[in-house]
Amino acid sequence: MSQEPAPDRARARAKFRRTLVRVLAVQAIALLALALLQLRYDV
Amino acid sequence: MHWINWVVVILYVTYVIVDGIRKSKGTDSLSGFFQANRSLPWWVVGLSVMATQLSAITMIGTPGQGATDGIRFVQFYFGLPIAMVILGVTLVPFLHGSGVYTAYEYLERRFDARTRSLTAFLFLLSRGMSAGTIIAAPGVVLSAIFGIPLLWAVVLIGVPTVLYTMIGGVQAVAWADVKQMFLIVFALLAIVVVLILQMPVGADEALRIAGATGRLQAFDFSFDLSETYTFWGGVIGGTFLMLSYFGTDQSQVQRYLAARSVDEARSSLLMSAYWKIPLQALVLMIGVGIFVYYQFVQPPLLFNPAHEQAVVAERGAQYGDLQQRYDEAFTLRSSAAITVADTPDGTAGAAAMEDFLAREAEIQGIRGEALAMAEEVTGEASRDVNYIVPRFALAELPIGLAGLFIAGVLAAAMSSISSELNSLATTSVIDFYRRWVRDDATDAHYLIVSKGATAFWGLFACVVATYAATLGSLIEVVNRFGSFFYGSILGVFLLAMMPAARGRGSFYGLITGMALVGAVNFGAPQVAFLWHNVIGAVTVVVVGLLLSAGQGPETPETAAAADAAGTG
């Protein structure tokens, strides 16, 4: 696993960071939608 | 059920078996059978991971929970994306890179044989029983709804699953999971569409009714250790639980060990990180939608038809009175719900809401009496919540789609059981048979033993499922015992990544962690089980490091870990 050449590792890290940002964005949208539902309708 | 629906179910079951046999190509070696020769693309592994986690309980129990309790259960999954990201940079590269068949095999390389055997044994114990309960849960529901013996329902779910798992190994399991996942999502979306088309009120009014009964409360920020579903319980306890489940449980680890590369293994886990919370929210919202729908269309007093029949047979007059009160209360509540939907916010709206809530409380009271009566008559816990969605689907979905929904329930059960059987066989063969009984046999020999082990665990699960009612308390004990060691096993794997940790520390740390969680469970039963995972993992790491202090390298892997960290 640590035998990959440095440029490949760097590319994999960059890809992972991009994916991470997308995951967080999707979760943020999902949680925001749930929060809006609760704020608007939960009494 | 209409015969066309049965045809759909039979077609699905036949397809699953035939496709499993087709996908058995290349599985004539141990690596092929248990790891699909590490050939699976990330999206297949990702869908397999999701399908494994999504059992029939999610298909029928979770929307039922949404209908009766609202969407707060979604908080349980808040730790999942965090856990997936952590696993992507920690355990996944460790396990995939080490070329092992099981997660526990890695523990012997890193520590010693006893740590490996103990963790593998704990896995066999808990997963063996849980495979039975995963068949039993939908089996009991299908048997009650269709009036068939439980054994038939168990056979319908268990036999095809054992067949394709035994013949095609992890490759057949993963590809079947992909198709089953699509079927499950399609069945859920079919219910969403039917709900939207048939809902007597608009979306805003429906949400107001749901919100008025507290069913749209997704977040509870109280820091209460006795509450299972809170934001903090989900984020902290849920992260530890998901780290343990996806990082150390062979039924999940085996999915991503079959991925083509570490990178693809990581990506497969991130698929769950993307979709789990939105999917779970959708499933719960389906339940909320059904609750609102039943404000206007009268549902049965008891959803479990078997219990309803038993109560009518034994206490017909008493139940008849209750039914009459229920009919009258429903008419009043239905008018109150229409008034709420038609009245804008303001003083009149508040009065309408108050009236509606009073009517709803009355209905719940009558339902509570009916459930208590059913429990007295049958001597069983009612679990009526599990029957809400199947009965809704069979009554409201068009012919064909209703059959597809039942096929979806079977698919959800099969996708979880197949992964469990496959991983139980892998652990039995790799961690016990090859390790302790015979370590010099040919691949062909191990392959025969592996297929035999799959059949054995399948039979074991079916027997447990068939006697689920009588084994109820035993299964509960095992499941409870399972929560003692889940976090503790995670602690051992965390130690494995720490260069200072040694075998003695990890073994005794594991035992201390389980003992402490057991003590908390009995001494402070109010602490919600999600927190047990945190307590177990932290205890194992702390005790493990303390007992490891000052010891030199003991295995090549220990020395390698120490070298990598610059401490050797």
Q: What is the ipTM of this complex?
A: 0.81
Distance CA B294, CA B483 (A): 36
Same domain, B66 and B135: yes
Query: Tokens representing B556?
Result: 């090549």
| Cβ atoms of B259 and B95 closer than 8 Å | no
**Candidate ranges B25-34, B151-160, B460-469; pick with highest mean pLDDT:** B151-160
Q: Say if the Cβ atoms of A34 and B219 lie within 8 Å.
A: yes
Domains of chain B: total: 3
Same domain, B411 and B531: no
Residues of B with CB under 8 A from a CB of A: 71, 74, 81, 84-85, 88-89, 93-94, 96-97, 207-208, 210-212, 214, 216-219, 262-263, 266-267, 270, 273-274, 277-278, 281, 353, 564
Q: Which residues of B touch A20 (CB under 8 A)?
A: 85, 270
CA B142 to chain centre: 18
Q: Say if the Cβ atoms of A19 and B270 lie within 8 Å.
A: yes
Same domain, B257 and B320: no
In-domain check, residue B271: yes
Q: What is the CATH number of the domain that holds B417?
A: 1.20.1730.10
Give the minimum alpha-carbon distance from B371 to chain A in angstroms, rounded to a whole number: 28
In-domain check, residue B15: yes
Distance CA B411, CA B51 (A): 9
Q: Kindly report which listed range (B15-19, B224-228, B427-431, B550-554) carries the lowest average pLDDT score.
A: B550-554
Give the minimum alpha-carbon distance from B477 to chain A in angstroms, rounded to a whole number: 35
DSSP structural state of residue B300: P
Same domain, B205 and B85: yes
| pLDDT at B566 > cutoff 50 | no
In-domain check, residue B388: no
pLDDT tens digits along B462-486:
998 888 766 655 555 555 666 678 8
DSSP code per residue over A1-43? -TTS-HHHHHHHHHHHHHHHHHHHHHHHHHHHHHHHHHHHH--
Q: pLDDT band at B45, cuts 50/70/90?
A: very high
Q: Say if the Cβ atoms of B208 and A41 lie within 8 Å.
A: yes
Same domain, B368 and B412: no
B501 φ/ψ sector (left φ>0, alpha ψ -120 to 50, else beta) = beta
Same domain, B7 and B73: yes
pTM for the full predicted model: 0.89
Same domain, B482 and B557: yes
Judged by a CB distance cut-off of 8 A, whether residue A39 touches chain B is no
Same domain, B376 and B405: no
Q: Say if the Cβ atoms of A30 and B278 lie within 8 Å.
A: yes
Same domain, B145 and B161: yes
Judged by a CB distance cut-off of 8 A, whether residue A28 touches chain B is no
Q: Say if the Cβ atoms of A37 and B85 lie within 8 Å.
A: no
In-domain check, residue B350: yes
Q: pLDDT band at B565, cuts 50/70/90?
A: very low
CA B486 to chain centre: 15
In-domain check, residue B299: no
Give the minimum alpha-carbon distance from A38 to chain B in angstroms, rounded to a whole number: 5
In-domain check, residue B117: yes
Q: Which residues of B touch A5 (CB under 8 A)?
A: none
- Of B421, B448, B470, the residue that ends a domain is B470
Same domain, B119 and B263: yes
- Of B321, B347, B382, the residue that ends a domain is B382
- Of B435, B470, B505, the residue that ends a domain is B470
Q: Say if the Cβ atoms of A41 and B266 lie within 8 Å.
A: no
| Cβ atoms of B162 and B421 closer than 8 Å | yes
Question: Which of A4, A23, A36 would best serve as a mutation to test chain B binding (most B beta carbons within 10 A)?
Answer: A23
Cβ pairs A/B, distance under 8 A: 65
In-domain check, residue B118: yes
Percent of chain B at pLDDT > 90 equals: 62
Q: Give residue B124's domain range.
A: 3-294+395-470
Q: Which residues of A touch B263 (CB under 8 A)?
A: 12, 15
Q: Which residues of A touch B273 (CB under 8 A)?
A: 23, 27
End-to-end CA distance of chain B: 68
In-domain check, residue B390: no
At position B2, the amino acid (one-letter code) is H
Q: Among partner residues B219, B267, B277, which is closest to A19 by beta-carbon distance?
A: B267
Give the minimum alpha-carbon distance from B470 to chain A in angstroms, rounded to a whole number: 41
Q: pLDDT band at B414, cuts 50/70/90?
A: very high
Q: pLDDT band at B147, cuts 50/70/90?
A: confident
pLDDT tens digits along B343-367:
777 677 788 888 889 999 999 999 9
Question: Which of B84, B219, B340, B345 would best serve as a mutation to test chain A binding (most A beta carbons within 10 A)?
Answer: B219
Average pLDDT, chain B: 89
Same domain, B250 and B342: no
Same domain, B335 and B363: yes
Give the minimum alpha-carbon distance from A22 to chain B in angstroms, rounded to a whole number: 8
